[in-house]
Protein backbone atom coordinates (compact mmCIF):
# COMPACT_ATOMS: atom_id res chain seq x y z
CA UNK A 1 0.00 0.00 0.00
CA UNK A 2 2.91 2.33 0.74
CA UNK A 3 5.81 3.51 -1.33
CA UNK A 4 8.79 3.08 1.03
CA UNK A 5 10.13 6.51 0.13
CA UNK A 6 6.97 8.15 1.45
CA UNK A 7 7.62 6.66 4.89
CA UNK A 8 11.15 8.02 5.20
CA UNK A 9 11.66 10.60 7.95
CA UNK A 10 13.80 13.43 6.64
CA UNK A 11 14.66 16.91 7.89
CA UNK A 12 12.28 19.62 6.73
CA UNK A 13 14.87 21.10 4.36
CA UNK A 14 14.95 17.86 2.39
CA UNK A 15 11.56 16.27 2.89
CA UNK A 16 8.56 16.08 0.62
CA UNK A 17 5.04 16.23 2.03
CA UNK A 18 3.07 13.03 2.49
CA UNK A 19 1.74 11.89 -0.90
CA UNK A 20 -1.65 12.77 -2.32
CA UNK A 21 -3.06 9.22 -2.11
CA UNK A 22 -2.83 9.36 1.71
CA UNK A 23 -5.57 11.99 1.52
CA UNK A 24 -7.85 10.10 -0.87
CA UNK A 25 -7.39 6.35 -0.53
CA UNK A 26 -10.07 4.37 1.32
CA UNK A 27 -7.56 1.63 2.24
CA UNK A 28 -5.32 4.14 3.98
CA UNK A 29 -8.36 5.57 5.73
CA UNK A 30 -9.21 2.08 7.09
CA UNK A 31 -5.63 1.47 8.15
CA UNK A 32 -5.54 4.74 10.09
CA UNK A 33 -8.35 3.51 12.34
CA UNK A 34 -5.92 0.93 13.74
CA UNK A 35 -2.58 2.61 13.20
CA UNK A 36 -3.50 6.07 14.46
CA UNK A 37 -6.85 6.30 16.24
CA UNK A 38 -6.79 3.00 18.16
CA UNK A 39 -3.31 3.59 19.52
CA UNK A 40 -3.27 7.26 20.53
CA UNK A 41 -5.14 9.24 23.18
CA UNK A 42 -8.55 10.53 22.20
CA UNK A 43 -10.41 13.37 23.87
CA UNK A 44 -13.79 12.43 25.36
CA UNK A 45 -14.92 15.70 26.97
CA UNK A 46 -14.49 18.06 29.91
CA UNK A 47 -14.88 16.54 33.38
CA UNK A 48 -17.56 19.17 34.17
CA UNK A 49 -19.93 17.36 31.80
CA UNK A 50 -19.93 14.16 33.87
CA UNK A 51 -19.93 15.80 37.27
CA UNK A 52 -23.49 14.58 37.70
CA UNK A 53 -23.41 10.83 38.40
CA UNK A 54 -26.05 9.99 35.82
CA UNK A 55 -24.09 11.58 32.98
CA UNK A 56 -21.56 9.73 30.87
CA UNK A 57 -19.60 10.30 27.70
CA UNK A 58 -20.60 7.96 24.90
CA UNK A 59 -18.11 8.26 22.10
CA UNK A 60 -16.90 6.37 19.08
CA UNK A 61 -13.23 5.66 18.58
CA UNK A 62 -12.38 4.26 15.17
CA UNK A 63 -15.73 2.46 15.03
CA UNK A 64 -15.63 1.29 18.67
CA UNK A 65 -18.32 2.58 21.05
CA UNK A 66 -16.90 3.61 24.44
CA UNK A 67 -18.69 4.76 27.62
CA UNK A 68 -16.90 6.87 30.24
CA UNK A 69 -18.24 7.91 33.65
CA UNK A 70 -17.31 8.40 37.30
CA UNK A 71 -17.79 5.35 39.55
CA UNK A 72 -18.99 5.35 43.17
CA UNK A 73 -15.47 6.17 44.36
CA UNK A 74 -15.42 9.14 42.02
CA UNK A 75 -12.85 7.44 39.79
CA UNK A 76 -12.92 7.89 36.07
CA UNK A 77 -13.95 4.60 34.45
CA UNK A 78 -14.29 3.56 30.82
CA UNK A 79 -15.51 0.45 29.01
CA UNK A 80 -16.25 -0.58 25.48
CA UNK A 81 -19.93 0.25 25.31
CA UNK A 82 -20.80 -3.24 24.13
CA UNK A 83 -23.07 -5.57 26.06
CA UNK A 84 -21.79 -9.15 26.36
CA UNK A 85 -25.21 -10.57 25.48
CA UNK A 86 -25.65 -9.47 21.86
CA UNK A 87 -23.68 -6.27 21.63
CA UNK A 88 -26.29 -3.73 22.76
CA UNK A 89 -25.50 -0.23 24.07
CA UNK A 90 -25.28 0.57 27.79
CA UNK A 91 -26.47 3.53 29.81
CA UNK A 92 -25.97 4.62 33.38
CA UNK A 93 -29.08 3.88 35.39
CA UNK A 94 -29.58 5.43 38.77
CA UNK A 95 -32.15 3.57 40.87
CA UNK A 96 -32.19 5.43 44.17
CA UNK A 97 -28.83 4.82 45.83
CA UNK A 98 -27.28 2.38 43.37
CA UNK A 99 -26.01 3.26 39.94
CA UNK A 100 -25.57 0.47 37.41
CA UNK A 101 -24.97 0.13 33.71
CA UNK A 102 -28.01 -1.17 31.92
CA UNK A 103 -28.19 -2.45 28.38
CA UNK A 104 -30.82 -0.72 26.30
CA UNK A 105 -31.61 -3.88 24.32
CA UNK A 106 -32.75 -6.61 26.76
CA UNK A 107 -31.97 -5.01 30.11
CA UNK A 108 -28.85 -6.86 31.30
CA UNK A 109 -27.17 -4.90 34.08
CA UNK A 110 -23.51 -4.48 35.04
CA UNK A 111 -21.83 -3.10 38.17
CA UNK A 112 -19.76 0.02 37.68
CA UNK A 113 -16.60 -2.13 37.80
CA UNK A 114 -17.84 -3.97 34.69
CA UNK A 115 -19.00 -7.19 36.37
CA UNK A 116 -22.22 -8.67 35.07
CA UNK A 117 -24.93 -8.25 37.69
CA UNK A 118 -28.30 -9.33 36.35
CA UNK A 119 -29.93 -10.89 33.29
CA UNK A 120 -33.76 -10.77 33.12
CA UNK A 121 -35.50 -14.01 32.07
CA UNK A 122 -32.29 -15.98 31.67
CA UNK A 123 -33.01 -18.96 33.94
CA UNK A 124 -32.50 -22.18 32.02
CA UNK A 125 -29.26 -21.25 30.29
CA UNK A 126 -26.58 -23.87 30.98
CA UNK A 127 -22.84 -23.56 31.55
CA UNK A 128 -23.08 -19.81 31.86
CA UNK A 129 -20.43 -18.18 34.02
CA UNK A 130 -21.22 -14.57 34.87
CA UNK A 131 -17.56 -13.80 35.55
CA UNK A 132 -16.74 -14.60 31.94
CA UNK A 133 -19.13 -11.94 30.73
CA UNK A 134 -17.68 -8.74 32.18
CA UNK A 135 -17.40 -5.53 30.20
CA UNK A 136 -14.06 -4.81 28.54
CA UNK A 137 -12.22 -1.92 30.19
CA UNK A 138 -10.62 0.97 28.30
CA UNK A 139 -7.71 3.07 29.54
CA UNK A 140 -8.81 6.54 30.63
CA UNK A 141 -7.07 9.53 32.15
CA UNK A 142 -7.87 13.01 33.42
CA UNK A 143 -5.53 15.88 32.58
CA UNK A 144 -6.28 19.46 33.59
CA UNK A 145 -10.02 18.80 33.59
CA UNK A 146 -9.96 17.08 30.19
CA UNK A 147 -10.93 13.42 29.92
CA UNK A 148 -9.00 11.18 27.53
CA UNK A 149 -9.31 7.52 26.53
CA UNK A 150 -7.00 5.16 24.69
CA UNK A 151 -7.86 1.76 23.18
CA UNK A 152 -4.21 0.77 23.49
CA UNK A 153 -3.68 -0.70 26.96
CA UNK A 154 0.07 -0.22 26.67
CA UNK A 155 -0.19 3.51 25.97
CA UNK A 156 2.16 5.93 27.73
CA UNK A 157 0.06 8.18 30.06
CA UNK A 158 -1.06 11.32 28.28
CA UNK A 159 0.02 13.42 31.26
CA UNK A 160 3.61 12.33 30.50
CA UNK A 161 3.20 13.38 26.88
CA UNK A 162 1.76 16.84 27.43
CA UNK A 163 2.66 17.74 31.01
CA UNK A 164 4.55 20.86 29.94
CA UNK A 165 1.47 22.51 28.43
CA UNK A 166 -0.03 23.33 31.84
CA UNK A 167 3.25 24.99 32.83
CA UNK A 168 3.47 26.95 29.61
CA UNK A 169 0.00 28.47 29.85
CA UNK A 170 0.10 29.49 33.51
CA UNK A 171 -1.77 31.34 35.04
CA UNK A 172 -4.45 30.17 32.63
CA UNK A 173 -6.17 27.22 34.28
CA UNK A 174 -8.05 24.83 31.99
CA UNK A 175 -9.72 22.88 34.75
CA UNK A 176 -11.87 25.73 35.99
CA UNK A 177 -13.20 26.98 32.69
CA UNK A 178 -16.95 26.83 32.16
CA UNK A 179 -18.48 25.19 29.13
CA UNK A 180 -20.42 27.67 27.01
CA UNK A 181 -21.23 26.08 23.68
CA UNK A 182 -20.51 23.25 21.22
CA UNK A 183 -20.53 23.75 17.46
CA UNK A 184 -20.00 21.04 14.84
CA UNK A 185 -18.85 21.43 11.26
CA UNK A 186 -19.01 18.85 8.47
CA UNK A 187 -16.18 19.37 6.05
CA UNK A 188 -15.61 17.73 2.69
CA UNK A 189 -11.95 16.94 3.11
CA UNK A 190 -9.69 14.32 4.59
CA UNK A 191 -8.97 14.90 8.30
CA UNK A 192 -5.26 15.38 7.58
CA UNK A 193 -5.94 18.31 5.24
CA UNK A 194 -7.68 20.05 8.12
CA UNK A 195 -4.83 19.24 10.53
CA UNK A 196 -2.10 20.32 8.06
CA UNK A 197 -3.95 23.60 7.60
CA UNK A 198 -4.20 24.19 11.35
CA UNK A 199 -0.50 23.64 11.80
CA UNK A 200 0.86 26.58 9.90
CA UNK A 201 0.40 30.33 10.05
CA UNK A 202 1.78 30.57 6.51
CA UNK A 203 -1.75 30.93 5.10
CA UNK A 204 -2.87 33.68 7.48
CA UNK A 205 -2.16 36.72 5.26
CA UNK A 206 -4.01 35.12 2.33
CA UNK A 207 -6.89 33.27 4.01
CA UNK A 208 -7.45 35.25 7.23
CA UNK A 209 -6.26 38.85 6.79
CA UNK A 210 -8.32 39.95 9.81
CA UNK A 211 -6.69 37.39 12.07
CA UNK A 212 -3.33 38.63 10.89
CA UNK A 213 -4.34 42.03 12.18
CA UNK A 214 -5.56 40.66 15.50
CA UNK A 215 -2.34 38.78 16.16
CA UNK A 216 1.10 40.29 16.13
CA UNK A 217 1.91 38.19 13.07
CA UNK A 218 5.59 39.21 12.87
CA UNK A 219 6.11 37.40 16.19
CA UNK A 220 4.23 34.23 15.17
CA UNK A 221 6.29 31.13 15.94
CA UNK A 222 6.00 27.35 16.05
CA UNK A 223 7.63 25.16 18.67
CA UNK A 224 7.52 21.38 18.38
CA UNK A 225 7.69 18.89 21.20
CA UNK A 226 7.54 15.10 20.98
CA UNK A 227 3.76 14.58 20.87
CA UNK A 228 2.50 18.10 20.48
CA UNK A 229 3.32 21.37 18.83
CA UNK A 230 2.60 24.94 19.76
CA UNK A 231 1.97 27.94 17.56
CA UNK A 232 2.26 31.08 19.59
CA UNK A 233 1.62 34.70 18.82
CA UNK A 234 1.26 37.80 20.96
CA UNK A 235 -2.06 39.60 20.50
CA UNK A 236 -2.07 43.04 18.96
CA UNK A 237 -2.91 45.19 22.00
CA UNK A 238 -5.10 47.57 20.03
CA UNK A 239 -7.32 44.71 18.88
CA UNK A 240 -7.53 42.69 22.09
CA UNK A 241 -11.17 42.48 23.22
CA UNK A 242 -10.51 39.82 25.87
CA UNK A 243 -10.44 40.56 29.53
CA UNK A 244 -6.85 40.02 30.53
CA UNK A 245 -3.52 39.97 28.82
CA UNK A 246 -1.49 37.23 27.28
CA UNK A 247 -0.93 35.76 23.89
CA UNK A 248 -2.64 33.23 21.67
CA UNK A 249 -1.54 29.63 22.19
CA UNK A 250 -2.53 27.12 19.54
CA UNK A 251 -1.65 23.64 20.75
CA UNK A 252 -1.91 20.58 18.57
CA UNK A 253 -1.90 17.26 20.42
CA UNK A 254 -1.26 14.38 18.06
CA UNK A 255 -3.22 13.00 16.30
CA UNK A 256 -6.43 15.09 16.28
CA UNK A 257 -6.85 17.54 19.13
CA UNK A 258 -6.36 21.28 19.26
CA UNK A 259 -6.41 23.53 22.30
CA UNK A 260 -6.76 27.17 21.35
CA UNK A 261 -6.02 29.21 24.43
CA UNK A 262 -6.48 32.95 24.63
CA UNK A 263 -6.81 35.10 27.74
CA UNK A 264 -9.80 33.75 29.71
CA UNK A 265 -10.87 31.29 27.05
CA UNK A 266 -10.24 27.76 25.91
CA UNK A 267 -11.51 26.44 22.62
CA UNK A 268 -11.13 22.71 21.99
CA UNK A 269 -11.25 21.40 18.44
CA UNK A 270 -11.55 17.70 17.85
CA UNK A 271 -11.03 16.41 14.33
CA UNK A 272 -12.99 13.23 13.66
CA UNK A 273 -12.54 11.35 10.38
CA UNK A 274 -15.82 10.25 8.79
CA UNK A 275 -14.53 8.93 5.48
CA UNK A 276 -11.42 9.52 3.38
CA UNK A 277 -12.98 12.74 2.08
CA UNK A 278 -15.18 13.81 4.96
CA UNK A 279 -14.41 15.10 8.44
CA UNK A 280 -16.43 16.19 11.45
CA UNK A 281 -14.90 19.01 13.48
CA UNK A 282 -16.24 19.67 16.97
CA UNK A 283 -15.61 23.02 18.64
CA UNK A 284 -16.12 23.28 22.40
CA UNK A 285 -16.01 26.77 23.85
CA UNK A 286 -15.02 27.35 27.49
CA UNK A 287 -14.62 30.67 29.29
CA UNK A 288 -13.71 31.96 32.73
CA UNK A 289 -16.74 34.21 32.79
CA UNK A 290 -20.03 33.15 31.21
CA UNK A 291 -22.23 35.29 33.43
CA UNK A 292 -21.41 38.99 33.51
CA UNK A 293 -22.49 41.40 30.78
CA UNK A 294 -18.88 42.19 29.99
CA UNK A 295 -18.00 38.48 29.83
CA UNK A 296 -20.91 37.71 27.49
CA UNK A 297 -19.98 40.59 25.23
CA UNK A 298 -16.46 39.32 24.71
CA UNK A 299 -17.81 35.77 24.19
CA UNK A 300 -20.05 37.06 21.39
CA UNK A 301 -17.14 38.78 19.65
CA UNK A 302 -14.91 35.74 20.18
CA UNK A 303 -17.42 33.31 18.65
CA UNK A 304 -18.17 35.61 15.70
CA UNK A 305 -14.47 35.94 14.90
CA UNK A 306 -13.82 32.24 15.37
CA UNK A 307 -16.76 31.28 13.16
CA UNK A 308 -15.55 33.54 10.37
CA UNK A 309 -12.05 32.04 10.53
CA UNK A 310 -13.51 28.55 10.56
CA UNK A 311 -15.53 29.19 7.39
CA UNK A 312 -12.46 30.58 5.68
CA UNK A 313 -10.55 27.43 6.69
CA UNK A 314 -13.36 25.13 5.55
CA UNK A 315 -13.45 26.79 2.15
CA UNK A 316 -9.72 26.49 1.60
CA UNK A 317 -9.53 22.91 2.96
CA UNK A 318 -12.30 21.73 0.62
CA UNK A 319 -10.49 23.29 -2.34
CA UNK A 320 -7.18 21.74 -1.26
CA UNK A 321 -8.88 18.33 -1.10
CA UNK A 322 -9.86 18.79 -4.76
CA UNK A 323 -6.34 19.93 -5.59
CA UNK A 324 -4.58 16.96 -4.00
CA UNK A 325 -7.14 14.59 -5.56
CA UNK A 326 -6.45 15.93 -9.06
CA UNK A 327 -4.40 14.13 -11.72
CA UNK A 328 -1.45 16.46 -11.39
CA UNK A 329 -0.66 16.69 -7.69
CA UNK A 330 1.52 13.96 -6.19
CA UNK A 331 3.60 15.54 -3.40
CA UNK A 332 4.77 18.99 -2.33
CA UNK A 333 7.57 20.63 -0.32
CA UNK A 334 7.50 22.55 2.97
CA UNK A 335 8.60 26.03 4.05
CA UNK A 336 11.42 25.68 6.58
CA UNK A 337 10.40 28.99 8.11
CA UNK A 338 6.65 28.40 8.42
CA UNK A 339 5.72 24.72 8.20
CA UNK A 340 7.62 22.95 10.98
CA UNK A 341 4.28 22.04 12.61
CA UNK A 342 3.11 20.29 9.42
CA UNK A 343 6.45 18.48 9.18
CA UNK A 344 6.17 17.34 12.82
CA UNK A 345 2.61 16.02 12.31
CA UNK A 346 3.39 14.22 9.07
CA UNK A 347 6.42 12.54 10.66
CA UNK A 348 4.39 11.30 13.63
CA UNK A 349 1.95 9.89 11.11
CA UNK A 350 4.78 8.19 9.20
CA UNK A 351 6.02 6.68 12.49
CA UNK A 352 2.56 5.28 13.26
CA UNK A 353 2.24 3.83 9.76
CA UNK A 354 5.70 2.27 10.07
CA UNK A 355 5.04 0.68 13.47
CA UNK A 356 1.65 -0.58 12.26
CA UNK A 357 3.24 -2.10 9.12
CA UNK A 358 5.98 -3.74 11.25
CA UNK A 359 3.47 -5.27 13.64
CA UNK A 360 1.00 -6.59 11.11
S1 LIG B 1 -27.69 -7.04 24.01
FE2 LIG B 1 -27.55 -6.33 26.01
S3 LIG B 1 -29.12 -7.27 27.04
FE4 LIG B 1 -29.23 -8.07 25.06
FE1 LIG C 1 -6.64 28.96 9.04
Closest CA relative to residue 109, chosen from 126, 125, 85, 127: 85
Sign of CA dihedral 353, 21, 337, 230: negative
Q: What is the pLDDT of residues 282-333, one digit of tens each?
A: 999 999 999 999 999 999 999 999 999 999 999 999 999 999 999 999 999 9
For residues 173-194, average pLDDT: 94
Q: How confident is the model at residue 169 (pLDDT cuts 50, 70, 90)?
A: confident
What proportion of the chain, given as a percentage, has pLDDT over 90?
84
Q: How confident is the model at residue 34 (pLDDT cuts 50, 70, 90)?
A: very high
* Together in a domain, 177 and 295: yes
Q: How confident is the model at residue 172 (pLDDT cuts 50, 70, 90)?
A: confident
Which of the given ranges, 95-109, 245-259, 329-343, has the highest pLDDT on average? 329-343
Of the three residues 96, 118, 142, the one that is the final residue of a domain is: 142
* Together in a domain, 293 and 189: yes
Q: Please tell me the residue having the least CA distance from ligand 1 atom 4.
A: 106
Residue 244: pLDDT above 90? no
* Together in a domain, 184 and 257: yes
* Between residues 238 and 284, the one the model is more confident about: 284
In the reported structure, the alpha carbon of residue 225 is separated from the centroid of ligand 2 by a whole-number distance in angstroms of 21
Residue 235 confidence (pLDDT): 86
Ligand 1 atom at minimal distance to the Cα of residue 104: 2
Domain assignment of residue 133, given as a range: 43-142
Ligand 1 atom at minimal distance to the Cα of residue 103: 2
* Together in a domain, 221 and 91: no
Task: Using most ligand atoms within 8 A of CB, pick from 67, 89, 90, 103 the residue to mutate for ligand 1.
Answer: 103
* Together in a domain, 133 and 61: yes
Ligand nearest to the CA of 310: 2
What proportion of the chain, given as a percentage, has pLDDT over 70?
99
* Together in a domain, 201 and 331: yes
Of the three residues 120, 142, 164, the one that is the final residue of a domain is: 142
Residue 230 confidence (pLDDT): 97
We report the CATH number of the domain holding residue 271 as 3.90.380.10
Q: Give CB contacts under 8 A, 24+ apart, made by 32-38.
A: 32/273, 33/62, 33/63, 34/62, 34/356, 34/360, 35/352, 35/353, 35/355, 35/356, 36/255, 36/349, 36/352, 37/61, 37/62, 37/255, 37/256, 37/273, 38/62, 38/64, 38/151, 38/152
User: What domain count does the chain have?
Assistant: 2
Q: How confident is the model at residue 176 (pLDDT cuts 50, 70, 90)?
A: confident
Residue 77: pLDDT above 90? yes
Ligand nearest to the CA of 109: 1
Residue 171: pLDDT above 80? no
Q: How confident is the model at residue 166 (pLDDT cuts 50, 70, 90)?
A: confident
Ligand nearest to the CA of 101: 1
Task: Using most ligand atoms within 8 A of CB, pick from 65, 80, 83 the residue to mutate for ligand 1.
Answer: 83
Which of the given ranges, 213-227, 237-251, 336-350, has the highest pLDDT on average? 336-350
* Together in a domain, 314 and 170: yes
Q: How confident is the model at residue 246 (pLDDT cuts 50, 70, 90)?
A: confident
* Between residues 238 and 302, the one the model is more confident about: 302
Ligand 1 atom at minimal distance to the Cα of residue 108: 3
Ligand nearest to the CA of 91: 1
* Together in a domain, 111 and 168: no
Q: How far apart are CA 354 and CA 44, in angstroms?
A: 27
Residue 318's H or E segment, with its range, is helix 293-325
Of the three residues 87, 118, 142, the one that is the final residue of a domain is: 142
Residue 305 confidence (pLDDT): 92
Q: Is residue 29 part of a domain?
A: yes
We report the CATH number of the domain holding residue 125 as 2.102.10.10
Closest CA relative to residue 199, chosen from 349, 326, 303: 349
Closest CA relative to residue 48, chosen from 287, 281, 213: 287
In the reported structure, the alpha carbon of residue 304 is separated from the centroid of ligand 2 by a whole-number distance in angstroms of 15
Task: Using most ligand atoms within 8 A of CB, pick from 65, 105, 130 the residue to mutate for ligand 1.
Answer: 105
Give the bridge partners for 109, in sequence order.
Answer: 102, 118
In the reported structure, the alpha carbon of residue 78 is separated from the centroid of ligand 1 by a whole-number distance in angstroms of 18
Residue 163: pLDDT above 90? no
**Helix ranges (DSSP H) in 117-198:** 158-168, 191-198
Q: How confident is the model at residue 170 (pLDDT cuts 50, 70, 90)?
A: confident
Pocket of ligand 1 (CB under 6 A): 83, 85-88, 103, 105-108
Residue 86: pLDDT above 80? yes
Task: Using most ligand atoms within 8 A of CB, pick from 82, 106, 119 the residue to mutate for ligand 1.
Answer: 106
Ligand 1 atom at minimal distance to the Cα of residue 87: 1
Q: Is residue 248 part of a domain?
A: yes
* Together in a domain, 124 and 11: no
Q: Is residue 147 part of a domain?
A: no
Q: How confident is the model at residue 240 (pLDDT cuts 50, 70, 90)?
A: confident
Report phi then psi at 45, rounded to 5. Answer: 160, 180
Residue 97 confidence (pLDDT): 78
Mean pLDDT of the chain: 94
> Counting beta carbons within 10 angstroms of the beta carbon of residue 269, is it exposed (0 to 12), middle (13 to 18) or buried (19 or more)?
buried
Residues with CB under 5 A from ligand 2 (ion): 313
346, 18 contact by CB (below 8 A): yes
In the reported structure, the alpha carbon of residue 293 is separated from the centroid of ligand 2 by a whole-number distance in angstroms of 30
In the reported structure, the alpha carbon of residue 233 is separated from the centroid of ligand 2 by a whole-number distance in angstroms of 14
Residue 237 confidence (pLDDT): 72
Closest CA relative to residue 241, chosen from 217, 267, 264: 264
Strands (E), the chain: 42-46, 57-61, 64-70, 76-80, 90-95, 98-103, 109-110, 116-118, 139-143, 146-150, 178-187, 221-224, 228-233, 248-253, 257-262, 265-275, 278-287
Amino acid sequence: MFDKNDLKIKPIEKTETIPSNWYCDGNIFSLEKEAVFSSNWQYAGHIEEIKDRTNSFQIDIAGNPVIIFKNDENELTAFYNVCRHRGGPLNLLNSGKKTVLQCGYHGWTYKLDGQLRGMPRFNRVELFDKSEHCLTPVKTELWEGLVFVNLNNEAVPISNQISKIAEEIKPNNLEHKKHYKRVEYNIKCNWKIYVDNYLEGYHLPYVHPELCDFLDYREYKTIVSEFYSLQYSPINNKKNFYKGEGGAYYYFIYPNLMLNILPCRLQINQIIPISERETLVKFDYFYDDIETKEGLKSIKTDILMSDKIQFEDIEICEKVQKGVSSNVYKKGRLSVECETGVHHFQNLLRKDYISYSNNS
